[in-house]
Structure 1
């Protein structure tokens, strides 16, 4: 039908780099899917949205990506797809934080976290706790943010997930630094650095720079 045709055209335009045309056709495809309650078309749009969401984290979100994320969340809710709904809400939270709307970010991340916990998705829970911690710290409450990151560390420990543990420790370090606890911040960054070095992940260089800068501070 028309929804599939527009969706396929949008995907082709995306591959060719015609992002403006792709956005328009994919949003129209999703609108038709919503009107007809067409789950397969919604899922095609969701696949594109995931790709576009990753792209927006590099280039910065815009109103089109926000609008599509809202539509994906609404469709997922309509079809009872809790995982996709949580993913879209989490992405909305991150985008709102990047745009400086911290209360909207906090609200969407909390909604995503509640669904993720309901689903028993511990990796997703750890990721969202780190995002929530970063948001709360930006709101000026490093103590509460520290609690979120510490729970993320515990979840990563349970999962034996060194990458998520390192990411959570990075958040722990930032919170200690914001609280004026330089020694604790350096200890957390040191642990995160060791994990990233063992994993061979690119974040190691960034953590090394943070640790070096913190070591020059009292």
Structure 2
């Protein structure tokens, strides 16, 4: 499927429409000239086959579960210690528990903010994209209007000289016909002259 859908008028407007046999003959010539396999459009990037390293290929083919995320980091740390623990060990365990609790509370707050205001950020991004799309559509409409204006100017210019072109074509056809008639008359006259010369030589 072609990615180009625009069709621009480029043929002369003053030429008569081709007949059905002429159209079929032109289509057959075009089909005969087209290659059997048409290459992709130049605007399309060349297709490349993925070249994975052996390690990536083995990882993709394996069905083992990945342990890429350590879920223990997102679990609260317990401050419970054995009864015979020292004061320093208890202080360190309590500090780690406080740090873990603070981190999880901050993360929960961020997730709640994302749930509440993430939609607004997404809508804002869509708004900017819609503005870009609207600008591109305005530019496309301006280009289409320019193409239509140029096509109208071509139509008017060709219509203005249509009569002159038809007169020149008729004059050309008449001139070609006169040249052919003159050549036929000259050849006929030459044949008569040769015939007269033969008769004169026969009498002599």
Fold in common (TM above 0.5): no
TM-score, normalised on structure 2? 0.18
